[in-house]
Amino acid sequence: DTGVSQNPRHKITKRGQNVTFRCDPISEHNRLYWYRQTLGQGPEFLTYFQNEAQLEKSRLLSDRFSAERPKGSFSTLEIQRTEQGDSAMYLCASSLENSDEQYFGPGTRLTVT
Amino acid sequence: AQSVSQHNHHVILSEAASLELGCNYSYGGTVNLFWYVQYPGQHLQLLLKYFSGDPLVKGIKGFEAEFIKSKFSFNLRKPSVQWSDTAEYFCAVNAGNAGNMLTFGGGTRLMVKP
């Protein structure tokens, strides 16, 4: 499968714990996006990378959230000191630099208990 | 900041009925418009998109959408739905920003009864 992959697919954690998610984009795509989707809502933009540079961050991305894309390939999204309000589906998407078409992964569903 | 509204949260139709899902956006400048679909258990995938030119765009699986600039709308249509169209549909806008970040509507869940 050459699409966007995300791991893990599901994560259950206790409040206060740290979690990290991984996204592997389509191999030739140099743009990578993170979105968050809560129940009954559409995805909301969190941040995006062009190659290894993080170029935009939403105000939704509090200081407990950090994202990296160290080699311009896969990316990680870490949430520190998780809160119940962090429970959501975290979606990753990738695209070519000059394309508006984003390809989405299956998401990581986070449940904070 | 731009926003996207989808007024119908749930739609139930019988097979062969016609479909129209509403989408309105708020942004005064140039926009690129998208409809994404998420079938049960699957990823979000692009259904169709509008950048410029003919305001009536055709996508996959017989879907089409019409951009009406004066109404800030981009409604999705299909003349005759099938059971396999059961899915959640999201309208999205890219307001010409450098990173092509998308702003999504809240989604419309469509159920087609066989």
pLDDT digits (tens, 9 = 90+) for A33-44: 999 999 889 999
Inter-residue contact B32 to B94 (CB < 8 Å): yes
What pLDDT score does B27 carry? 83
Candidate from B32, B100, B107 with C-beta closest to A95: B100
Q: What is the pLDDT of residues B53-93, one digit of tens each?
A: 999 999 999 999 999 999 999 999 999 999 999 999 999 99
**Chain centroid to CA A10:** 13
- The amino acid at residue B60 is I
Q: Do A91 and B46 touch (CB under 8 A)?
A: no
pLDDT one-digit tens code per residue, A43-63: 999 999 999 999 989 888 889
Distance in angstroms (rounded) separating the CA atoms of residues B23 and A61 = 27
Phi-psi region of B98 (alpha: psi -120 to 50; beta: other; left: phi over 0): alpha
CB pairs under 8 A between A and B: 59
Buried b (16+ CB within 10 A) or exposed e, A49-78: bbeeebebebeebeeebbbebeeeebbebe
Residue in B with minimal Cα distance to A99: B100
In this predicted structure, what is the pLDDT of residue A1? 54
CB neighbours (10 Å) of residue B77? 14
* H or E stretch covering B19: strand B19-21
Residue of A nearest to B43 (CA): A106
Disruptive mutation site among A100, A101, A103, A108 for chain B (greatest number of B CBs within 10 Å): A100
Contact at CB, B44 and A91, closer than 8 angstroms: yes
Report d(CA A75, CA B48) in Å as an integer: 27
Which residues in chain A are closer than 8 Å to B9, comparing Cβ atoms?
A: 40
Q: Would you call A43 and B101 a contact, using CB atoms and an 8 Å cutoff?
A: no
How confident is the model over B20-42, as pLDDT tens digits? 999 999 987 888 999 999 999 89
Query: Does the structure show a pLDDT above 90 at B100?
Result: no
pLDDT confidence band for B98 (50 / 70 / 90): low
